[in-house]
Chains A and B, each alone.
Chain A
Amino acid sequence: MNIAKPNSYRSGPDDRGHFGIFGGRFVAETLMPLILDLEKAYTEAKADPAFQAEMNGYLKNYVGRPSPLYFAERLTEHLGGARIYLKREELNHTGSHKVNNVLGQIMLARRMGKKRIIAETGAGQHGVATATLCARFGLECIVYMGAVDVERQQPNVIRMEMLGATVMPVQSGTRTLKDAMNEALRDWVTNVHNTFYCIGTVAGPHPYPTLVRDFQSIIGNETKAQMQEIEGRLPDSLVACIGGGSNAMGLFHPFLDDPSVEIFGVEAAGHGLTQLHAASIAGGRPGVLHGNRTYLLMDADGQIQDAHSISAGLDYPGIGPEHSWLHEVGRVNYLSATDDEALAAFQLLSKLEGIIPALEPAHAIAKVLELAPKRPRDHLMVVNLSGRGDKDVPQVGDILRGKSK
């Protein structure tokens, strides 16, 4: 790719929200004033030490941070290559990395005086995190979820309802994450005067990709400090799964300007890249959807195509704009793992380490199974274990029983 290498990979976006050609603010006029307000509120909050101090208090005592950086000894032995560390985001309150971002956005919503919170969710982890913080701060919470995902992630639907949220099953389109996002945007356009849209990943119109990245960067910042303490140096490689790309961006961003660190993002290859999948970088091209320009799965006419992944959280035909840029400038390598590879990794990690991962990070583990054996024994590899698998137990149980019959 003939794109000039920037001096820093961490200086984006520009003031119009662009990472190279990606990003931007492709939204209806109704939403523009609010998006500009949000940008202003976020800029002010970032400069306010009281905001950071309050966040830190909740991150420590409510979310339970820092999350451990754990040496996966048996997985390392099993693969016989790199030393594998798991960043244990699944131990956070609510069971995934999603809560880091939701906490930040809910604090912003409070600053902006918004009392009604909406969110989209795929796997339900972002919905659960949003419902949780809305309960904690006494805010109304409406979560849009594709009807297909309501079906396959039942445990999280029940959790959201217990937390007092209203779950709205979305019947339009493919009835998955993309349609949940459309429906959330429709709600937002309608109720713009009192509603804060809490987006669950590094996508959407500027400033969302940036603020979600910033709130998730605690993952990479902690990892850097923890690795320094444990091994006395930087890791050699990072691996994370990618739906919209928030857990990946959170881990990657603090390391982008450390050239010795190899970085791998893992998209969902579903049934395989020549069939139904959700790998927008491997199988898509740049287009405009949900407020930003980014890699998308679409047909020759620019119509968005159905994504497929076994994992509801990765079942999205797009990816955050900063990832599209990192792909084009060649800083991050984007790989993909199929449904079957993820299922095998899900089982392997459960049996070897006693950690049942969510199906989303099982995609990252699947690529670790390929990458680690090819690396020397002193190579330090960090995998973002973005969530725990409790929500997937019924679905995976059904699949495995069906297979063993």
Chain B
Amino acid sequence: MTTRIDTRFAELAKQGRSAFVTFLMAGDPDPATSLEIIKALPKSGADVIEIGMPFTDPMADGPSIQAAGLRALKAGMTLKKTLELVRGFRKDDNATPIVLMGYYNPIYIYGVDKFLVDAKSAGVDGLIIVDLPPEEDNELCLPAMKAGLNFIRLATPTTDDKRLPAVLANTSGFVYYVSITGITGAATADSSAVSEAVARIKRHTKLPVCVGFGIRTPETARDIASHANGAVVGTALVDALRNSLDAEGRATGKTVNAVAELTAALAQGVRGAQQAAE
């Protein structure tokens, strides 16, 4: 089964460049503005879009993304509305891959089978679920693969060579390398450690490897993108969004542009990278 993710990475490989992957929270700061923002991302240079599914207790996220989730929940966001957001985006973009990222409980409560059907029909291509390690593959990973969705696994600095095969076994789409031990928005990735880690993962898999956590600037994005098949930026975009809000946390006329401009700058950084040899 070929997904939009597979197609996109194949295209990029032909062009000889790495992917720029953006992360923003669904419904932040409100559902309507969120859709506008997501729609603006491909035009600004995003190659793959990750959309966070808001959750009250995001235990792998730092303060920025925690706050983004709470803003979205306060604005009435639900998992159902997150799928509507994707559907809305798909009306005029059928090529940019969409990956939903978040925690398992809202999906479990929605109902795994129903969720997979609805996500697929809304135009979702892949899932990243932080609290589902390979030990829990029966829960969602295997059903998702069957439903034709990529299940993208996180590999981390603590995933050693012994464990990597288990982590990669049911992974598809791409591998997301978490460049630091820590939560989102905390430390900055060290590019030499990242390049070593990516090389190590590539010894075990043919899948593209994208790197995230700790990338905030076009310079770091370029640096990391030169060692990997993609660079993921989340917290910096979420912060740009937040800084554009009014005192009550509502969207202003600047909000969509603030995110689009930073996206464009980061995308330029990524496009400036010399992609590492396969």
Interface residues of A (CB under 8 A from B): 16, 24-34, 172-173, 178-179, 182, 185-186, 189-193, 287-291, 293, 296, 298, 300-304
- Inter-chain contacts of A172 with B (CB < 8 A): 63, 66
Q: How far is the CB of B255 from chain A (nearest CB, A)?
A: 24
Q: Quick one: given A25-B136, A298-B105, are A182 and B57 in contact (CB under 8 Å)?
A: yes
Question: Is B182 part of the contact surface with A, judged by Cβ < 8 Å?
Answer: yes
Contacting pair B56 A26 (CB below 8 A) = no
3 cross-chain pairs, A with B, having the tightest CB-CB distances, nearest first: A302-B109, A302-B106, A190-B182
Closest to B59 in A: A185
Q: How far is the CB of A55 from chain B (nearest CB, A)?
A: 29
Measured in the bound complex, the distance between the Cα atoms of B108 and A289 in whole Å is 11
Q: Quick one: given A29-B178, A173-B56, are A303 and B73 in contact (CB under 8 Å)?
A: yes
Measured in the bound complex, the distance between the Cα atoms of B137 and A25 in whole Å is 11
Measured in the bound complex, the distance between the Cα atoms of B57 and A298 in whole Å is 11
Per the CB 8 Å criterion, the residue count for chain B at the interface is 45
Contacting pair A24 B182 (CB below 8 A) = no
Q: How far is the CB of B185 from chain A (nearest CB, A)?
A: 11
- Inter-chain contacts of B133 with A (CB < 8 A): 25-29, 32
Contacting pair B167 A28 (CB below 8 A) = no
- Inter-chain contacts of A185 with B (CB < 8 A): 59-60
Q: How far is the CB of A27 from chain B (nearest CB, A)?
A: 6
Measured in the bound complex, the distance between the Cα atoms of B182 and A29 in whole Å is 11
Measured in the bound complex, the distance between the Cα atoms of B160 and A155 in whole Å is 44
Question: Is B270 part of the contact surface with A, judged by Cβ < 8 Å?
Answer: no
Q: What are 7 sample pairs from A and B whose C-beta atoms fall under 8 A apart?
A: A29-B154, A29-B159, A185-B60, A186-B183, A289-B105, A290-B57, A302-B109
- Inter-chain contacts of A190 with B (CB < 8 A): 181-183, 186
B219-251 toward A: CB 8 Å interface, digit per residue (1/0)?
000000000000000000000000000000000
B72-109 toward A: CB 8 Å interface, digit per residue (1/0)?
01000011100000000000000000000001111111
Interface residues of B (CB under 8 A from A): 54-63, 66, 73, 78-80, 103-110, 130-136, 153-160, 163, 167, 178, 181-183, 186
- Quick one: which of B133, B134, B156, B178 has the most chain A CB within 10 A? B133
Measured in the bound complex, the distance between the Cα atoms of B183 and A179 in whole Å is 15
- Inter-chain contacts of B134 with A (CB < 8 A): 32
Contacting pair A33 B154 (CB below 8 A) = no
- Inter-chain contacts of B79 with A (CB < 8 A): 301-302
Q: Quick one: given A25-B136, A172-B66, A302-B109, are A290 and B59 in contact (CB under 8 Å)?
A: yes
Measured in the bound complex, the distance between the Cα atoms of B130 and A288 in whole Å is 12
Q: How far is the CB of A344 from chain B (nearest CB, A)?
A: 33
Contacting pair A193 B104 (CB below 8 A) = no
Measured in the bound complex, the distance between the Cα atoms of B130 and A178 in whole Å is 18
Measured in the bound complex, the distance between the Cα atoms of B183 and A29 in whole Å is 12
Binding site secondary structure of chain B: loop
- Inter-chain contacts of B163 with A (CB < 8 A): 32-33
Contacting pair A287 B156 (CB below 8 A) = no
Closest to A174 in B: B56
Measured in the bound complex, the distance between the Cα atoms of B136 and A179 in whole Å is 24
- Inter-chain contacts of A16 with B (CB < 8 A): 135
Contacting pair A30 B131 (CB below 8 A) = no
- Inter-chain contacts of A300 with B (CB < 8 A): 109
- Inter-chain contacts of B57 with A (CB < 8 A): 173, 178-179, 182, 289-290, 304
Measured in the bound complex, the distance between the Cα atoms of B133 and A296 in whole Å is 21
Measured in the bound complex, the distance between the Cα atoms of B57 and A71 in whole Å is 44
Of B56, B66, B132, B181, which contacts A189 at CB under 8 A?
Answer: B181
Q: How far is the CB of B270 from chain A (nearest CB, A)?
A: 25
Q: Quick one: given A28-B59, A186-B60, are A304 and B181 in contact (CB under 8 Å)?
A: no
Contacting pair B132 A193 (CB below 8 A) = no
- Inter-chain contacts of B167 with A (CB < 8 A): 29
Contacting pair A26 B156 (CB below 8 A) = no
Closest to A179 in B: B57
- Inter-chain contacts of B73 with A (CB < 8 A): 303
Closest to A28 in B: B60
Measured in the bound complex, the distance between the Cα atoms of B104 and A26 in whole Å is 8
Of B61, B80, B136, which contacts A24 at CB under 8 A?
Answer: B136
Contacting pair B183 A288 (CB below 8 A) = no
Q: How far is the CB of A184 from chain B (nearest CB, A)?
A: 9
- Inter-chain contacts of B55 with A (CB < 8 A): 302-303
Closest to A302 in B: B109
Measured in the bound complex, the distance between the Cα atoms of B136 and A187 in whole Å is 23
Measured in the bound complex, the distance between the Cα atoms of B110 and A31 in whole Å is 26
Contacting pair A29 B156 (CB below 8 A) = yes
Contacting pair A182 B59 (CB below 8 A) = yes
Q: Quick one: given A33-B163, A172-B63, A301-B79, are A189 and B136 in contact (CB under 8 Å)?
A: no
- Inter-chain contacts of B158 with A (CB < 8 A): 29-34, 192-193
Q: How far is the CB of A213 from chain B (nearest CB, A)?
A: 20
Of B62, B107, B109, B154, which contacts A28 at CB under 8 A?
Answer: B154
Q: Quick one: given A173-B57, A301-B78, are A287 and B108 in contact (CB under 8 Å)?
A: yes
- Inter-chain contacts of A191 with B (CB < 8 A): 181
- Quick one: which of A31, A182, A186 has the most chain B CB within 10 A? A186
Measured in the bound complex, the distance between the Cα atoms of B66 and A255 in whole Å is 43
Measured in the bound complex, the distance between the Cα atoms of B110 and A173 in whole Å is 23
- Inter-chain contacts of B156 with A (CB < 8 A): 28-30
Q: How far is the CB of A115 from chain B (nearest CB, A)?
A: 17
- Inter-chain contacts of B154 with A (CB < 8 A): 28-30
A173-B57, A190-B183 are known contacts; what are 7 more A-B pairs with Cβ within 8 Å?
A28-B59, A30-B154, A33-B160, A172-B63, A287-B105, A288-B131, A298-B105
Measured in the bound complex, the distance between the Cα atoms of B54 and A32 in whole Å is 23
- Inter-chain contacts of A28 with B (CB < 8 A): 59-60, 130-131, 133, 154, 156
- Quick one: which of B60, B154, B155 has the most chain A CB within 10 A? B60
Measured in the bound complex, the distance between the Cα atoms of B107 and A288 in whole Å is 10
